[in-house]
Structure 1
């Protein structure tokens, strides 16, 4: 599959996922979409007891270590929990900015059948501190509670002139769409090792699904893990500069073993605009796997308006660059094509080789 086809497929998946509002603990509609796409491409899936989805494209050698690409299905939002005389009560889920809790913020209630009902934040619930809220909404329309509530922002909008993709939840639907595109490509390209796509739940409230998947050994031991995320822009991780090989996050520095897949893929494809940075704005799912002994790296799309926090202090749609997104898919597909080969980049091989001539000179120069 060529890069243009990969890019088009990735954008199709991203727009499809963007049309499905979800937040932590309310990921089922996103999960249903992912399961349907995997079934359509003939990729086996397993759903663990927590609702994490593991997509599996088997390798040709059972003894070869595979590679797994991990993304989460949720985005920060709210939860409506009870209908009271003064309005519908609820709370925040995940790290939305302070302005997302102010009176007058427009929101959308997502009924259990998927129907959307407009609402607005009236204010805090009583004198309680924290993220407890009262919503104004037509209570006779919202149906059974609890239900998800999301910010009233665009599902998906792509501006060809600026090359920006604006979405309520680029974090982390961009990662999910990328992995679906990689799986689609991997179906056509057998490799010694297996290629996995892991789609997790409740990342925004503490990496919950990823931590449980890692602790339970959902992925085989020795699998190289690539966390596929969006992350807030930083110096050296700029929008439009290419996807970022993520050497770590706010909590963990990742290892070179898994990063060699991305380095080797970059070298083999050529002419890819790629950045490399420790993305310290937040903690990603790579930390959960690294801390459970998996060789881990990450790939991040530089993200504007992270968690819908506009640079002007208003609530905004998140945005990523089309070129970053499509280049990232190409890079990940290149890494998937190396599954089970234990690749080494030219630089890595050079450092690993014993410097015999220089060694002799050191020995000969001892005074």
Structure 2
């Protein structure tokens, strides 16, 4: 898939603001894209979207990302007065009275007012009349733009992951690939993985699935933006399945042999906990990938609220990796057995030398 086509998909999603439990506009765009490209999808009873491309009887590959982003929920109305509560991980020092907000779904302008109490509840200062349908608010900033090889916008986290799943499925369908891939696009991840927990517990996914969690993750020492997709060894909570991680490493190396411009990195991304932890703890063999993210959760230097950004090249590399991983699933056991076989050969040689030199 070309970078231009990927950016078109990402732009369509990122121009639909969302917050935890208020992902409806993003979900509608996801479903619209699925219909346009002939991808089978369904909503589960919790409002998550499951997209499937099943053209071969092979082990299922599940690609998981979330549709929400930190934002404000309207929790109280009294006439023209409103209070909003922030949902998501942003430190106290970033909340300053007067910061511009956008009410949704009307798009009316407002500003952040004084804090009320100890939790992240604030008075809302309307700049325009508040519509009775308005249910949440987001930071007022650009939804989406592409500049100098970067995608900028409010919600790269995790709509870049959602876009990567859709792009992967579209590309596999276009190539008539023999695969079994399920995309899980979940809700309310930012406040405790609510949608992913519901999916993992529901029985909707085959227990034999290999799950790959897709995220954007804050740039940490040891990884660099523009240096490729990151094979995420683990997150803040735990380390993911080593055999699944070995499979992704072998897939990435094979892809690199075929395409010398493909780059990847491997790192423990401990800046936060991702949905991979949920799926692994619920018994699924799990791996994870991500791309480096700037201005994580819109938190810029000097306590400024600003758009997030990612590398277009890294995001497209993630799609390339996932497309190749889906096509390599029939070779999973062969690809993951190479290292153990090599170690057994080393053991045989080691025994001979150790025994002859033991005394």
Contact 1:70 1:226 in 2 (8 A): yes
Cα 1:9/1:258, change in 2 over 3 Å: farther
In structure 1, the residue matched to 2:124 is: 135
3-state SS, counterpart of residue 158 of structure 1: strand
Q: CA deviation at 1:310?
A: 0.4
1:199-246 per-residue CA deviation (whole Å, 9 max, x = no partner) reads 000000001111121122321112111111001111112222212110
In structure 2, the residue matched to 1:361 is: 353
In structure 1, the residue matched to 2:59 is: 65
Gaps of 5+ in 1: none
Indicate whether 1:17 and 2:13 are aligned: yes
Provide the rounded CA distance (Å) in 1 between the counterparts of 2:94 and 2:302.
Answer: 13
In structure 1, the residue matched to 2:290 is: 300
In structure 1, the residue matched to 2:307 is: 317
Indicate whether 1:49 and 2:35 are aligned: no
3-state SS, counterpart of residue 237 of structure 1: coil
> Which of 198-207 and 334-343 deviates more?
334-343
Aligned pairs, number? 353
In structure 2, the residue matched to 1:148 is: 136
Contact 2:53 2:179 in 1 (8 A): no
Indicate whether 1:76 and 2:65 are aligned: no
In structure 1, the residue matched to 2:165 is: 179
Query: Structure 1 length as normaliser, TM-score?
Result: 0.90
3-state SS, counterpart of residue 204 of structure 1: helix
Cα 1:122/1:39, change in 2 over 3 Å: same
Cα 1:101/1:331, change in 2 over 3 Å: same
Provide the rounded CA distance (Å) in 2 between the counterparts of 1:294 and 1:259.
Answer: 13
Indicate whether 1:241 and 2:227 are aligned: yes
Query: Structure 2 length as normaliser, TM-score?
Result: 0.92
Indicate whether 1:35 and 2:31 are aligned: yes
Contact 1:99 1:314 in 2 (8 A): no
Contact 1:101 1:123 in 2 (8 A): no
Contact 2:80 2:130 in 1 (8 A): no
Cα 1:102/1:359, change in 2 over 3 Å: same
Which structure dedicates a bigger proportion of its chain to helix?
Answer: 2
Provide the rounded CA distance (Å) in 1 between the counterparts of 2:79 and 2:127.
Answer: 12
